[in-house]
Chain A
């Protein structure tokens, strides 16, 4: 089951560039939340702050509080612990090329010292079924490398890899932007199915995608969150003029 995320007064810097300014946001558990906005508005930085990936860059800095399921991830936990509970799928599929499909999915568990083969087999199968990849790869789980799959399959493999550690939150940073329309629609179907079990935060460039998969949508502009509301409201009757301008295609 997923948990909610409460963000208060979050600021992030990239060098001297103040990329996120005073973000306050409550992301509901077991729903999909979409973050939209033009390039460079800070939405990717925002999700990277939710699993403390932002600070892996030496020039990056974060202040503020993020509570995931009530745990203050910046005050009361180490990055390593957070990332075990918060899975992430990146913009470009990044499976491990030197590992088989099976090892790719099991990577997170093996990394943390899990070695019960019987259970691993089950988890790999379940994760691949959850990511709608099982039927396509079940015959060469250990024969083919992760890099031998197509782009869309690779991205679903990355989703399976993230699901295998049974995270409470799944962050997706433009997961379909490098994919063709067929693969994109498969990923969207997947998000639709997964959101009952996980809290999903999805960054997207594509407003139709946000409208299709998410209950809640936040609009980011120039490092600030302009508006956060139900997806329906954002796309039909936004309160802020800037949101309306973006939705109707006047900029961005």
Chain B
């Protein structure tokens, strides 16, 4: 439908280039006039570059679409490869155990007899991740509060830089450090102390002398997710306008009250987002965890016991998977992990975005 008639504009070259018919002598401005004409004719001859522009446009669209393409490819591959395990176990895969015929005890992961259940890995992933959050969140918020509200200027940039540098260290190096420093430390000093003080709760039992286990994995994960939580928390805290801080101060608040009421309260949605993003990282973290969790497919109440996670078992077993069913079960674990981490990350990003770019008025 034509909404308005747009008059067609047509440049007539001969019209544009004709010189004005001035009376009297021709001025010496002749060369300048000639130059201007040359530029005009050059520009007029250049065309509208529409073809190159369209090409560029589609190239960029292709680049953007490749991201979707990769996600879709991964998802379809995981779905296709996990079909055998899905066919064999269905939903039971995620919550049922098998009873070992010799010992009468529950068994979860028995490649020799072809019994596979994701339960101990789900358990291990959740327990180690939540332990990590428990340890990392208070520390990360403390770091962020210090950096945004009380850090002297000369210390702020180096501290922020080091915090973010922690995120750049490869996960296998964290694992190595954990094996040689953290594990002996826990084994010799911390675990015995925990057993002595809190052994009665059942969460710290004495039957694993290695120093490996859920707690060790939780501690190393906490160190690994600390930078992302603290840097995002810092970002959302910085986004709180200074007028909010002044409003609280003007009411006679101390510095801590100002931080609590003027900053943390306004940034809380974003902080929750940062924490969930940290959770997303902890859920998927593989190498360091595989090195310290003990890698045994069991569900135990004690945090000092050996366990395993979804990502650790995939990394440990995919190369030596003996049967199609075994491989397919690993793929199904991967699919579950893929879906969970995508959802967790999406929620986290959305919450952070709401605080840093959305309107605070929608926050209740």
Contacts and interface: CB of A to CB of B under 8 A. Distances in A.
Interface in A66-109: 80-84, 87-88, 90, 92, 94-99, 107-108
A53 B249 contact: yes
A83 B364 CA distance: 28
B260 to A, nearest CB: 9
Given A53-B249, A96-B244, A145-B363, 20 more contacts: A58-B153, A80-B253, A83-B251, A90-B250, A94-B241, A94-B246, A96-B247, A96-B262, A96-B266, A97-B361, A98-B266, A98-B268, A98-B360, A98-B364, A111-B248, A111-B251, A112-B252, A147-B359, A161-B247, A162-B251
B253 A88 contact: no
A56 interface: yes
A49 interface: no
Contact of A147 (B153, B248, B257, B360): B360
A158 interface: yes
A108 B251 CA distance: 5
A205 B360 CA distance: 29
Contacts of A206: none
B361 A94 contact: no
A177 interface: no
Given A90-B243, A145-B361, A108 B261 contact: no
B154 to A, nearest CB: 12
Nearest to A171: B250
A95 B257 CA distance: 16
A98 B261 CA distance: 10
Contacts of B360: 97-98, 147
A85 B252 CA distance: 8
B252 A108 contact: yes
B265 interface: yes
16 contacts: A53-B246, A53-B250, A58-B153, A80-B253, A83-B250, A83-B251, A87-B251, A90-B243, A94-B244, A94-B246, A96-B261, A98-B266, A107-B248, A107-B251, A111-B248, A165-B252
Interface in B140-159: 153
B264 to A, nearest CB: 10
A239 interface: no
Contact of B247 (A94, A112, A145): A94
Contacts of B359: 147
B316 interface: no
Find the residue from B250, B266, B360 having the highest chain A CB count within 10 A. B250
Chain B: interface secondary structure?
Answer: helix
B34 interface: no
B261 A111 contact: yes
A80 B254 contact: yes
Given A97-B360, A111-B261, A145-B361, A88 B254 contact: no
A114 to B, nearest CB: 12
Contacts of A148: 361
A111 B256 CA distance: 11
Nearest to B257: A111
Contacts of B361: 97, 145, 147-148
Contacts of A53: 246, 249-250
A56 B261 contact: no
A57 to B, nearest CB: 10
A16 B94 CA distance: 67
A11 interface: no
A111 B363 CA distance: 21
A51 interface: yes
A49 B39 CA distance: 62
B261 A162 contact: no
B251 A165 contact: yes
Interface string A143-168: 00101100000000010011001000
B363 to A, nearest CB: 5
Given A96-B244, A97-B360, A145-B364, A162 B265 contact: no
B170 to A, nearest CB: 38
B95 to A, nearest CB: 39
A37 B249 CA distance: 26
Contacts of A107: 248, 251, 261
